[in-house]
Structure 1
């Protein structure tokens, strides 16, 4: 069917009037869950549940102490502290989720800002999707999403995926009423908003925008998938179960041991006395459980994820799904596109080799009419719209003073065959301005050359030699052919060119240089233990050359085992692919579903896979991968399927995402290291104190400071540490690895054990002396058990806190290879450390009865600070001898 139209489109005045009368092209989002419901969802976290159970038990104990034993209202400080910790953790998580909602709303706005090709004022131009109005003439190309509801004016081999509206994956569209499907949900000449162009191209006139579209009528806001069970989620669940088991084991030991001690020491059994003793024992056991629960951990995780999400945006990584932050740190394989990610995506004709001296009319007209690209010349800089390779050809015409639009207007299109990755060529039949009917074919040179009867005296060997030369320089090549058609000649049938009279015109080499930052970025990722695999539709020679330029391919070590083509890839069975996939570095001439199958094969080998993609056809692989990375200028379908959007399209930004993911995980580990050490010391003090008959060395309010305020501050300090480039020298962590590694176990057990023994010795010394100043240590004679005075309790409390304070610096420097005094980029940590220091001095100095403390002398402060700082200095000496090169 002949199709040739010159559309003028709307004028600026008509656009304004249409927008006023019909509205803007934005969908009004449906109402969200009430804030209170979203807040309550934060209480589903397993650690929060443990905290709430501990809080309820603590309330029961406090009620008994207040009404049963007649103690003061201070007994309620402990449960209050626990529930304050719960509210802080859930409140912060809720706060940052709301911030994330705003960022995702911004992302939806970015989707509304997707570029759309329209014709206005007689020119092809590019506007945002939100600016499309009723009456606009919109150009539709393969891979794009239809921006509004419209009636087709032209449809060339047009197939649309309407599954978002009707469930039909492929619907053929046409402007010929005789070919309409009467049973179709929508008329055959209608294209609906939100559907995808799977094949072909067309032109439509918009008749509905925004909420008035069919998509708008059934629109439901896309929800963030927060149900993903990531490695971090799994490990925190395991940690919560471990803490529960250990704390219950400690509590059981306390109950069993104290009951045994009771029967050993009591000769006359009295039920009333035993019940009182048993209740006191239960309170001690529950107190230990409460102490063991890491109140600050949920907050540390939330802070780390939120901090990383915000800061990663500055490295051109727009995180769409929170789990992707930490999953990137566990990535073992990155499957990357070539064009736009490894290269600049700035296609230009490097050299044109035409044979047989074809006429300019044939050559230029063939390039102009057999193309789906457009040039936007409305701005200061000419912009290619559509396929960049085809756009390079149009720019090549323009440099020669040829207007491709004039040539297209003068020619009448008779028939078109769009490009597909299976055919690897496209064809257009036109009634030329010369009066002849001509078939133009363009595509992979080796295929085009093989279809030609007249090769202009050029041999296949000559063509192959030139192609090899260009491909070895990582250039894309296109072949051109034509044929003058007589009445009755067969040209296109069954989705392919069937004529046998084509004349070969020649080849064009088009270059797309590698980005200058990519070789270093790929080297960094490979040194980090992550394998890189290129998946491209280019020839093996082109793909191999790009691999060489970025440092992925080495001719001396790599072989045919490391590269495969799409057809060869398809022939492999799943078992063969699983064995072969480890060695593959490049898949050339890849087809749309090859990337998804590659991801599945890698996952079957227990790899954690990240995938880059920018096209609609990449969506299956992006969804299948552990982390999908869409490109900033990719299709909205690709972005919707992805977890992170790489705003600048550069591979170096992917390396930054890996660095952030690994650093985030280490920050969480450092907080766990710090808090578990505190909890181990506190648990053993309570356990041994209960057997030795000591009075509680730490009061409820003092534990509130240690377990709540200090842990909260530590969570903020350690969770917000900046990323370190040194993590890129490590290998990826195994997905199943426990978050507490062997080095952390040794640290917690050794440091916690040392602290416990030191504090136990101090307690014993204080109980058997009467210390009024730390300068008296060594000069006071030890005697019988004199108990603990208020001053001695204040000394013990302060020593306990400062041991943990200095240990926080050791936790900060854990496995960094750096000194704990490396404060560059850690201003927040320094501020929080000072807050803890002065907070402790303030509490002891003026806390009085509320914290059960007495002011200390200046000399005591100096001795405690200096003495406990040995924890840091010993740590510095150890790090000095174990220093790793950065």
Structure 2
């Protein structure tokens, strides 16, 4: 490139001094947590901690029973089962998250070895980007990426894409103060690391490198872990505390009651008292172990893992498990505009150019093709991409869609002169010997209509300037970019010599529209809203989720996009829109008062979005953030859920929890649906598990107070735990999502995960099961029962030993009550019958495995499970009687529906 000034740049000594003083042009990579530490963090879950305590206590009980009571090795099954549950829950969570991280192959955010053209010792030379230092003189050409931040020394028709930092794709840069854009996010004479030259060229002096650049600041900020607790984490902590203190309270009551009973029933001796006290403590510890739902962490992990896998099919690549559920609790989505709501590709909205004759049509398509600095990458003919200025590229895309090959149109002309676009003229021109109109020399001009009109003496199509101005104003009010087209056929007898620089002479010679150009028409160009976005936004709004736009674009453009997608309505006032500088000027108190009503932040800077997220979180909102640029990384990291776009920068992906692979806002709605459904699945498992626990704990409690032994052996309890924990977790976690959840409002994060309806069912059904089981136990103990039919003629004969056959009946009835109740738990909060099996193949298979497994254990378990086979009559009677749990539940659901 030709330089208007002579620059010497730095010498070798100055380079070394500046590198030592200001540092290298490298971004500090985030510290990597060792693999073992990442695994240890899985044990911080409150329920896992409770399980660990329960496991240690269970080991103590087992050693006491093995050495003190001389029981068999089967007493160690319970602690082994607990620790298996712990390892499965933590191991699965760790495995799926690490697998997602590997799938989340993040490319290096910068290519530090990329060559950059600089001037050193008075000579242009290329060096690696990493070697740039403060005060280096850097040359910028079209397509180059700025390697650091600095102030422009020269700018010739320079347009830079700052979308990775501001969301604004095209920013005009200049060294002339009169051309500065006062509303621009960053100064017009300043370039930023990571931004790309779309058009023109320039020279700048480096002022900041590495972490000190705007790009670097954003990258460092994105590494800050705010340790924001997710709604699910908070709910599980509350549930863990409830279980812990409830079991402790009951255990203390048992201990006090048994001590009181000892003093009332026995002759006091210290030896007997200590033995009795030790037994009582072991009963209390057993109750605590029974009360802990070993399967809950497993259920949560399975639900999250299942959702992670299935959400990938809806174009949501989940990197962090809890992000699945948190999406369901989201109350606010802060979204960027470009690439998320819009297509991030300028397109012709409408073109009004006179093509009433073949000549006019030829003039229109040839003018668009040749009077342009852009080009198209047609390697994928179905989805061409623009190279160069996006606005000019939009016109070429329009030509391509109409079936015209702009390359052939360019090849057929002879270019005599070109006049590049400048802020002074606000238009550009190309003088050619036409290929479509042989023998004619034509000047094509394109630019701001209000400028071009003064060069025109005629309008094609018999339109008036008033009509044209009215149409332009309508488009501009819709935040569209507008251009005008004009041409002039240069006669052979022209006074101008056709050589380089003649276009300027021709335009300068035109006075007051005499002998001027012919105006062809106008075009509106916009970054169109994605087709699916309005419906997707409406779905989120109907689901009670507020949507806010945060963009680096102008307020007018942001409001128009907000109107098109349904975020901005005529009822909204100007206080709902704010610019970045105005937002920054707000005090924390003022922001707190306005944050809920804000709908659009325009001209936003990177840290504005993060501050908005934090202000919303302070208002107890669950915040999701979408973003694809480096500028979005701090907000993505600070949010409860960060949603990066599939074609976004690697810095944004690194900071996010979920990547929307197809960049579609509708995929966000699918993520919300999955999150809400997942939360309901976890509630269903808690409902089921806690009902079992209430019945089991009450049996242990009454048995402890009455001085009787548990009717269920350790191995039987191990099978019950396997059914009620692992299998039930798998069955209820695999239930498919329901679109009906999108008709509800987000659940309040302060609302306990066990809602009043669940509490009633847990206490009511659990208490009912306890009464039924206690009654059955009484009947079995006070009369010989050889088959289920004996219960019909039952007559008490007094206390006696329970036979293995009677214990087998009790064991099977206990399991089958829980078995049928699993169907009731499945139907919870669906408003449907439990026999609605669409998409529930996994549930059906697991239910069948549980049923067949129970039959095998009772029929063939023998001494290991302390059971004897039951006859067919007993099985039929147990199944029919216990199934009343399901039929009563169905009847109640039918009544509720009607």
Which category describes the TM-score, using the shorter chain as reference length?
0.7 to 0.9
Task: Give how far 1:336 is off.
Answer: 3.2
Equivalent position of 2:20 in the other structure: none
Contact 1:476 1:542 in 2 (8 A): no
Equivalent position of 2:395 in the other structure: 393
CA distance in 2: counterparts of 1:802 and 1:338, whole angstroms: 55
Match of 2:470 among 430, 445, 465: 465
CA distance in 1: counterparts of 2:415 and 2:875, whole angstroms: 89
Inter-CA distance 559–47: structure 2 relative to 1 (3 Å threshold): closer
Q: 1:409-465: per-residue Cα shift (whole Å, max 9, x none)? A: 987999988xxxxxxx9979999999xxx9x997xx7xx959999899999987763
CA distance in 2: counterparts of 1:41 and 1:328, whole angstroms: 22
Contact 1:793 1:853 in 2 (8 A): yes
Task: Give how far 1:656 is off.
Answer: 0.3
Instruction: Please say if 1:520 is aligned against 2:535.
Output: yes
Inter-CA distance 766–173: structure 2 relative to 1 (3 Å threshold): farther
Equivalent position of 1:187 in the other structure: none
Match of 1:807 among 821, 825, 844: 821
Contact 1:659 1:725 in 2 (8 A): yes
Equivalent position of 1:297 in the other structure: 296
Equivalent position of 1:757 in the other structure: 771
Inter-CA distance 100–616: structure 2 relative to 1 (3 Å threshold): closer
CA distance in 1: counterparts of 2:363 and 2:116, whole angstroms: 33
| SS of the residue 1:375 aligns to | strand
Inter-CA distance 810–876: structure 2 relative to 1 (3 Å threshold): same
Deviates more, 1:517-526 or 1:150-159: 150-159
Inter-CA distance 641–353: structure 2 relative to 1 (3 Å threshold): farther
Task: Give how far 1:259 is off.
Answer: 0.4
Q: 1:686-743: per-residue Cα shift (whole Å, max 9, x none)? A: 0111111222111111111112343111111111211111111110112222222222
Task: Give how far 1:597 is off.
Answer: 5.0
Inter-CA distance 330–647: structure 2 relative to 1 (3 Å threshold): same
Deviates more, 1:240-249 or 1:530-539: 530-539
Instruction: Please say if 1:882 is aligned against 2:896.
Output: yes
Inter-CA distance 396–803: structure 2 relative to 1 (3 Å threshold): closer
CA distance in 2: counterparts of 1:766 and 1:304, whole angstroms: 40
Which runs of no fewer than 5 residues in structure 1 stay unpaired? 5-26, 115-128, 138-145, 163-169, 177-193, 205-214, 418-424, 490-502
Equivalent position of 2:47 in the other structure: 47
| SS of the residue 2:195 aligns to | strand
Instruction: Please say if 1:830 is aligned against 2:835.
Output: no
Contact 2:606 2:634 in 1 (8 A): no
Equivalent position of 1:196 in the other structure: 194
Contact 2:116 2:129 in 1 (8 A): no
Task: Give how far 1:633 is off.
Answer: 2.7
Deviates more, 1:476-485 or 1:380-389: 476-485
Equivalent position of 1:324 in the other structure: 323
CA distance in 1: counterparts of 2:763 and 2:344, whole angstroms: 54
Instruction: Please say if 1:582 is aligned against 2:596.
Output: yes
Q: How does 1:8-47 map to 2 (within 5 A)?
A: 39-47=39-47
Contact 1:468 1:541 in 2 (8 A): no
Equivalent position of 2:716 in the other structure: 702
Q: How does 1:424-573 map to 2 (within 5 A)?
A: 465-471=470-476, 475-477=480-482, 508-535=523-550, 546-547=561-562, 549-555=564-570, 558-561=571-574, 563-564=576-577, 566=579, 570=583, 573=586
Contact 1:155 1:175 in 2 (8 A): no
User: In the comparison of the two structures, how many residue pairs are matched?
Assistant: 762
Contact 1:375 1:382 in 2 (8 A): no
Equivalent position of 1:784 in the other structure: 798
| SS of the residue 1:318 aligns to | strand
Inter-CA distance 271–578: structure 2 relative to 1 (3 Å threshold): closer
Instruction: Please say if 1:91 is aligned against 2:91.
Output: yes
CA distance in 1: counterparts of 2:809 and 2:823, whole angstroms: 22
Task: Give how far 1:841 is off.
Answer: 1.1
Q: How does 1:143-292 map to 2 (within 5 A)?
A: 154-155=140-141, 160=146, 162=148, 170-171=149-150, 196-197=194-195, 228-266=228-266, 268-292=267-291
Contact 1:612 1:629 in 2 (8 A): yes
Task: Give how far 1:242 is off.
Answer: 1.6
Deviates more, 1:617-626 or 1:586-595: 586-595
| SS of the residue 1:321 aligns to | coil
Give the TM-score normalised by structure 1: 0.74
Task: Give how far 1:795 is off.
Answer: 1.1
Equivalent position of 1:618 in the other structure: 632
Contact 2:307 2:324 in 1 (8 A): yes
Give the TM-score normalised by structure 2: 0.73
Equivalent position of 1:657 in the other structure: 671
Task: Give how far 1:623 is off.
Answer: 3.5
Inter-CA distance 582–75: structure 2 relative to 1 (3 Å threshold): closer
Task: Give how far 1:834 is off.
Answer: 0.9
Contact 2:644 2:653 in 1 (8 A): yes
Deviates more, 1:465-474 or 1:396-405: 396-405
Task: Give how far 1:812 is off.
Answer: 1.1
CA distance in 1: counterparts of 2:627 and 2:671, whole angstroms: 16
Equivalent position of 2:385 in the other structure: 384
Task: Give how far 1:79 is off.
Answer: 1.9
Equivalent position of 1:66 in the other structure: 66
Equivalent position of 2:100 in the other structure: 100
Question: Which structure has the bigger radius of gyration?
Answer: 2
Contact 1:365 1:408 in 2 (8 A): no
Inter-CA distance 791–243: structure 2 relative to 1 (3 Å threshold): same
Inter-CA distance 471–321: structure 2 relative to 1 (3 Å threshold): farther
Inter-CA distance 760–634: structure 2 relative to 1 (3 Å threshold): same
Contact 1:565 1:587 in 2 (8 A): yes
Equivalent position of 2:183 in the other structure: none
| SS of the residue 1:778 aligns to | helix
Contact 2:225 2:637 in 1 (8 A): no
Contact 1:153 1:202 in 2 (8 A): no
Q: How does 1:635-714 map to 2 (within 5 A)?
A: 635-714=649-728
Contact 1:3 1:412 in 2 (8 A): no
Inter-CA distance 610–272: structure 2 relative to 1 (3 Å threshold): same
Task: Give how far 1:592 is off.
Answer: 6.2
Q: 1:91-128: per-residue Cα shift (whole Å, max 9, x none)? A: 322332342233223xx2xx47x9xxxxxxxxxxxxxx
Equivalent position of 2:644 in the other structure: 630
Instruction: Please say if 1:737 is aligned against 2:739.
Output: no
Inter-CA distance 566–802: structure 2 relative to 1 (3 Å threshold): same
Equivalent position of 1:375 in the other structure: 376
Q: 1:808-859: per-residue Cα shift (whole Å, max 9, x none)? A: 1111111011111111111111111111111111111111111111211211
Equivalent position of 2:207 in the other structure: none
Inter-CA distance 254–836: structure 2 relative to 1 (3 Å threshold): same
Inter-CA distance 849–396: structure 2 relative to 1 (3 Å threshold): closer
Task: Give how far 1:344 is off.
Answer: 4.5
Inter-CA distance 648–348: structure 2 relative to 1 (3 Å threshold): same
Deviates more, 1:732-741 or 1:510-519: 510-519
CA distance in 2: counterparts of 1:254 and 1:299, whole angstroms: 30
Task: Give how far 1:773 is off.
Answer: 1.0
Task: Give how far 1:74 is off.
Answer: 2.2
Inter-CA distance 225–771: structure 2 relative to 1 (3 Å threshold): farther
Contact 1:471 1:542 in 2 (8 A): no
Inter-CA distance 250–198: structure 2 relative to 1 (3 Å threshold): farther
Task: Give how far 1:804 is off.
Answer: 0.9
Task: Give the superposed CA RMSD.
Answer: 4.9
Contact 1:677 1:752 in 2 (8 A): yes
Q: 1:582-638: per-residue Cα shift (whole Å, max 9, x none)? A: 344455676666545544443343322223333333334433433232222333343
Task: Give how far 1:253 is off.
Answer: 1.0
Task: Give how far 1:553 is off.
Answer: 4.8
Contact 1:596 1:624 in 2 (8 A): yes
Inter-CA distance 160–242: structure 2 relative to 1 (3 Å threshold): farther
Task: Give how far 1:226 is off.
Answer: 11
Contact 2:116 2:147 in 1 (8 A): no
